[in-house]
Amino acid sequence: MAPYAAETMNHAALDKLLQKAGKAFERSAPNEALEHLFRALKLAPGNALILMRIGIALHLLQRTFDAEQYYLKAIRNSRTLGEAHNNLGKLYLETDKNSEAAEAFRQAAALLPHSPLPASALATALQRMNRIHDAEEICRVAISKFPGFAEPHHTLASLLLIQGRYREGWQEYEWRWETNRPPFTKRRFSMAAWHGEEIPGKRLLVHAEQGLGDTIQFSRFIPLVASASRAHLTIECHPSLHPVITTVHSGLKLASMVPSDSPFDYQVSLVSLAGILGITKQNVPSSDKYLHVPLTFSESWQALFDNDNVRLKVGVCWSGNKYPDPGRSCPDEIIRELFTCEHVTFYPLRPGTSLQPGMSNTRNLTSRIQGFDDTAGLIEQMDLVISIDTSVAHLAGALGKPTWVMLPYAPDWRWGLDGDTTPWYNSMRLFRQQKQSDWHGLVCQVKESLTEFAKSNDFQSG
């Protein structure tokens, strides 16, 4: 066979394999795509695009180390392949390697000047490093170049909010709907949007979004909406929250998932209420206590703690969902140090918690927790709650329980940049990491404060 004919056959075979890989990606079948790509790589050794696509498939399979190696191989073989730098940055961001992610996104932004994606991702990486002003500058440049692109607007919103610039922040936060990705998938309702006007006697649907903690935090606005709108309110939220959310205001109807064509007159997102109501750091309402434990749950949990007043009772939650921030959970081997604190009994608050060896001074009642009404009942019996940034912390704060929140180095916008207090919950004390991922230092600080708390509250026996 002539060399030209053989080369033509190789090209045809390569194209066919790449097409098969592309279709496998479309079907969300990365394992199948990987098979085709490895065969393609044998026909075109060192091809940077193929190496990058192998990295993408491995990335989708959560084989992060292998994915990183293939992204790096692709970059070594073609340093101008901006997509490889961008994908590498995404991987680093997901694995909490924020400085490496920032460098990868810088390279991608330089190589892909007509794409808004790398610059927006760079701002996110800088935010994770607590470089708030640098991240804001990157966002504003990206917005000036790509004004209709939602991601830098959304990132800018969290940067403004964490600085306490709420008015501008809420305005930018409405761009979250245009990102059109979970948890910000915009719902299409047939009824009109509510913008804060009086609508006496009309039916208003207030629908929750994002996580359970967001629902708890923003449910404080429901009484204000009832007063401002003079409407009949229905609150749509996760069913596990219904028993506690119903205590925020009398006469509420609760729903789980309302069809888009339901017979309401108006609708509004629960989180959008902050902007509609003109909320600033100075006028956050109901920061003392705005949720209550349903009576039956209060009584049933109280019965488990009768005559149990000898040791300090501390509810604790040290892990949560990895999305949106993989670095917000405290590892088991580090939180164990807290449990050595004397004169304290620790009660895990996260359902399904299993205690590891070395977790002493604990009483695990989580098998009794069926929903947030039970969690609220258990929290009510505590003297103190210690939690990472999760829905448990919001619930404890909304119940007015003394709560200590352990925050990562780069916290979520609602906790601000510094200080140990928050306008959202008067009963909260914030503990902040001083270095990236330094859970050990933070837990030692919390343990020291807890020892003093036990002494000052005269829990020195038992």
Determine the number of helices (DSSP H) and then strands (DSSP E) in the chain: 19, 10
Are 244 and 372 in contact, with CB atoms under 8 Å apart?
A: yes
Measured distance CA(459)–CA(217) in Å, rounded? 32
The pLDDT-based confidence of 1 (bands split at 50, 70, 90) is: very low
Write out the two tokens for 12: 């045809």
Given a cut of 80, is residue 50 above it in pLDDT?
yes
368-398 as b/e: b if 16+ CB within 10 A? ebebbbbbbbbbbbbbbbbbbbbbbbbbbbb
* pLDDT single digits (tens) 304-340: 998 777 689 999 999 877 655 667 899 999 999 999 9
Is the pLDDT score of 357 beyond 80? no
Q: How far apart are CA 443 and CA 440, in angstroms?
A: 5
Q: Lowest mean pLDDT of 15-24, 50-59, 158-167, 346-355, name the range.
A: 346-355
Residue type, 205: L
pLDDT at 346 over 60: yes
Residue 16 has pLDDT above 60, yes or no: yes
Q: In sequence order, what are the beta bridge partners of 388? A: 406
Interval 133-155 mean pLDDT: 97
Q: Which residues in 149-280 belong to E strands, given as ranges?
A: 192-193, 203-207, 232-236, 253-255, 266-269
Neighbours of 139 (CB within 10 A): 28
pLDDT classification of 287: cutoffs 50, 70, 90: confident
* Residue 10 or 56, more confident: 56
List the beta bridge partners of residue 232: 203
Separation of alpha carbons 351 and 371, rounded Å: 9
The percent of residues above 70 in pLDDT, for the chain, comes to 95
* pLDDT for residue 10: 78
pLDDT at 295 over 70: yes
Strands 384-388, 312-317: pairing kind: parallel
Coil, helix or strand for 429? Answer: strand
> What average pLDDT does the chain have?
93
pLDDT at site 462: 44
**By mean pLDDT, which of 41-50, 87-96, 434-443, 450-459 is the weakest?**
450-459
pLDDT tens-digit profile of 93-142?
A: 999 899 999 999 999 999 999 999 999 999 999 999 999 999 999 999 99
pLDDT at 7 over 70: no
pLDDT of 26 reads: 96
Residue with tokens 């991240």, as numbered in its chain: 135
